[in-house]
Amino acid sequence: MKRMFAVLAIILFTGAAQAGQKAGPRVFISVDMEGIWGVVHGNQTSSDSPEYGAARKWMAEDVNAVIAGLFEAGVAEVVVNDSHGSMRNIVADTLDPRASLISGTPKPLSMMQGIDGSFDACVFVGYHARAGTAPAVLDHTISGGVVRAIRVNGQEMPELGLNAAIAGYFNVPVIMLTGDTETCAQAKSILGDELVTVAVKEAQGRYAAKNLPLDEAKKRLREGAKEALQKKGQVAVFRLNPPFKFELEVNNSAQAEMPALIYLVKRSGPRTLEFSSDDYLKGFKLLRALIGLAGV
Ligand SMILES: [Zn+2]
- Strand residue runs (E) in 71-164: 77-82, 100-102, 121-127, 147-152, 155-156
Residue 218, pLDDT > 50, answer: yes
Residue 120, pLDDT > 70, answer: yes
From ligand 1's centre to the CA of 24, what distance in Å?
30
Element (H, E) at 108: none
Residue 25, pLDDT > 80, answer: yes
From ligand 1's centre to the CA of 179, what distance in Å?
11
Residue 57, pLDDT > 50, answer: yes
Q: pTM surpassing 0.95?
A: no
From ligand 1's centre to the CA of 83, what distance in Å?
7
Q: Are 140 and 149 in contact (CB under 8 A)?
A: no
Q: Compute the average pLDDT of residues 83-109.
A: 97
From ligand 1's centre to the CA of 33, what distance in Å?
5
Residue 17, pLDDT > 70, answer: no
Active site residue 140: yes
Q: In what order do the strands lie in the sheet with 26-31?
A: 100-102, 77-82, 26-31, 121-127, 174-180, 196-205, 208-211
CA-only gyration radius of the chain, Å: 20
Q: Which residues line ion ligand 1, judged by CB < 5 Å?
A: 32-33, 84
Torsion of CA 254, 256, 258, 261, to 10 degrees: -140
Polymer length of the chain: 296
Q: Is 130 helix (H, G, I), strand (E, B) or coil?
A: coil
Out of 41, 84, 128, 140, pick the active-site residue. 140
Q: What span, in angstroms and rounded, lies between the C-alpha atoms of 275 and 266?
A: 6
From ligand 1's centre to the CA of 32, what distance in Å?
5
Q: Each residue of 226-273: pLDDT tens digit?
A: 999 999 999 999 999 999 999 999 999 999 999 999 999 999 999 999
Q: Compute the average pLDDT of residues 27-32.
A: 98
Mean pLDDT across the chain: 94
For residue 21, the model assigns a pLDDT of 62
For residue 23, the model assigns a pLDDT of 87
From ligand 1's centre to the CA of 3, what distance in Å?
52
From ligand 1's centre to the CA of 20, what distance in Å?
32
Q: How confident is the model at residue 13 (pLDDT cuts 50, 70, 90)?
A: very low
Residue 83, pLDDT > 80, answer: yes
Q: Each residue of 157-214: pLDDT tens digit?
A: 999 999 999 999 999 999 999 999 999 999 999 999 999 999 999 999 999 999 999 9
From ligand 1's centre to the CA of 159, what distance in Å?
10
C-alpha pair distances (Å), 258 with each of 159, 290, 291, 294? 23, 8, 10, 6
**Could you tell me the end-to-end alpha-carbon distance of the chain, in angstroms, rounded to an integer?**
63
